Structure 1
Amino acid sequence: MSSPRHHLDPATLVSLAAGALSPEMAAVAETHLEGCAHCRARRAEAEHVGGALLLQQQPVPAAGERAERLRDDMLARLRQPLPMASGRARPDPVDTRRDTDALPRPLQPYFGKSWKALRWRWMAPGVHMIRAPRSSGDALVLLKIAPGKSMPVHSHGGSELTQILKGAYDDELGHFGPGDMADLDSDIEHQPVTSPGVPCICVAALDGPLQFRGWLARKLQPMVGL
């Protein structure tokens, strides 16, 4: 698999490093990290910077102000190029070799270990889904969408993390293939169109409902539950 071209947002990496993501969001983020050396290095940087900033920070009157300042400083550091000093160790590589039937390890507690054992639920022509039981208020779903399928135009009622596992799609943000991460918020409106060839399979975590533009999609939304 080629290196991902679309990555986790620095703010998401900071939240992941701080343990502030929901279990569902963290599972999708960790799935991306399994195959993305760039984001693994960025998370290691976030953890290192966060620890250093906590040690350097002087007392301030308000705890909220202190936390916001730490977050802003960390984001500013993460947006800078990674230092390449020879004396600094790189993050340990993650061994991504696995049985081709095995799901990514962060997803196994939610969907099981085997691709072959998945039981897809029909949602619409060319669209199948598996919904994981919720352990927080966020939704976690596996989606399988047939090749050449155009999804309804939609925005997001909150944040969404979508990791491409197989196949690909194109939208207003570019081409997303295996290993790519779509880190989206309520400002993004898009219409994914799956690529020819094989179904696009992705895992998505959402902390708010999708916002569909078309009346038919809005009418069917309660059946889909997203």
Structure 2
Amino acid sequence: MNPRHHLDPATLVSHAAGALSPEMAAVADTHLEVCAHCRRQLADAEHVGGVLLSQQQPVLPEPQRAERLREDMLARLGLPLPVAVVHADPVPEALHRNADALPRPLQPYFGKSWKALRWRWMAPGMHMIRAPRSSGDTLILLRISPGKSMPVHSHGGSELTQILKGAYDDELGHFGPGDMADLDSDIEHQPVTSPGVPCVCVAALDGPLRFRGWLARKLQPMVGL
């Protein structure tokens, strides 16, 4: 899997700082499982954050500073490998996962098995599962039949959508398995699912969708998005 659409750098910095909601972080981590490019970018962001944090530490008196340096040196000598190895790109767990297993970051919300999912009808050819909220954000799984067009919409806030199976096309390009749509309120689009197999994706939203059409707006309270 070689994703072509990635997490925005600002999202990666927020993730490195622990500033994403649990729902947003679950979608970001699902992408990170399959995207070596974003794992490297996240490691860089964590490194920069660590440097900035160290620069904000208070200046210690000379004896304490010497003791701190000694402790740091002993800790480093005790490592079996150089510190840089911590940020080496590992073989992602996703490559070894059972085909019926959901991505690990999603399992606390939706369970472990694809076969055990209980989809809720949303519209003709569209089904959804909504996860219980642990913050103010919404986390959903969507399954949309091939050749379906979503209503034209923008976003009341930020949205992270990770494609798990199938594909869709919109104004931003073609999104297939592993691709991430990192969207904000400036984006208006109309996803159209590709022929072949249903498009299954997981999405986290921190605000409601904004539909252009009156019918979609009228039905929005029933869908809850």
Q: TM-score range by the shorter chain?
A: 0.7 to 0.9
Q: Secondary structure at the match of 1:25?
A: helix
TM-score by length of 1: 0.85
Aligned to 1:127: 126
Q: Deviation at 1:55?
A: 2.5
Aligned to 2:149: 150
Aligned to 1:3: 2
Q: Deviation at 1:58?
A: 9.1
Task: Point out the structure with the larger helix share.
Answer: 2
TM-score by length of 2: 0.85
Kindly provide the CA deviation profile for residues 7-31 of structure 1, in whole angstroms up to 9, marking residues without a partner as x.
0000100111111100000000000
Q: Secondary structure at the match of 1:175?
A: strand
1:50 equivalent in alignment to 2:46? no
* Higher-Rg member (1/2): 2
- Structure 1 Cα separation of the partners of residues 212 and 206 of structure 2: 19
Q: Does the Cα contact within 8 Å between 1:156 and 1:208 map onto a contact in 2?
A: yes
Q: Deviation at 1:52?
A: 1.1
Q: Does the Cα contact within 8 Å between 1:44 and 1:91 map onto a contact in 2?
A: no
Q: How does 1:6-45 map to 2 (within 5 A)?
A: 6-45=5-44
Aligned to 1:91: 89
Code of the aligned partner of 2:27: V
Aligned to 1:177: 176
Q: How does 1:59-208 map to 2 (within 5 A)?
A: 89=85, 90-96=88-94, 97-208=96-207
Kindly provide the CA deviation profile for residues 129-177 of structure 1, in whole angstroms up to 9, marking residues without a partner as x.
0000000000000000000001100000000000000000000000000
Q: Does the Cα contact within 8 Å between 1:30 and 1:106 map onto a contact in 2?
A: yes
Code of the aligned partner of 2:139: L
Kindly provide the CA deviation profile for residues 68-119 of structure 1, in whole angstroms up to 9, marking residues without a partner as x.
xxxxxxxxxxxxxxxxxxx954333323211100000000000000000000
Kindly provide the CA deviation profile for residues 34-71 of structure 1, in whole angstroms up to 9, marking residues without a partner as x.
00000011111100011112223599xxxxxxxxxxxx
Q: Does the Cα contact within 8 Å between 1:166 and 1:200 map onto a contact in 2?
A: yes
Structure 2 unmatched runs, 5+: 59-82
- Structure 2 Cα separation of the partners of residues 213 and 117 of structure 1: 35
- Structure 1 Cα separation of the partners of residues 43 and 91 of structure 2: 12
Code of the aligned partner of 2:90: D
- Structure 2 Cα separation of the partners of residues 179 and 20 of structure 1: 23
- Structure 2 Cα separation of the partners of residues 58 and 186 of structure 1: 37
- Structure 1 Cα separation of the partners of residues 176 and 149 of structure 2: 16
Instruction: Count residues in correspondence.
Output: 198
Aligned to 1:221: 220
- Structure 2 Cα separation of the partners of residues 46 and 111 of structure 1: 29
- Structure 2 Cα separation of the partners of residues 3 and 34 of structure 1: 11
- Structure 2 Cα separation of the partners of residues 147 and 11 of structure 1: 32
- Structure 2 Cα separation of the partners of residues 168 and 91 of structure 1: 27
Name the Cα RMSD after superposition: 1.4
Aligned to 2:69: none
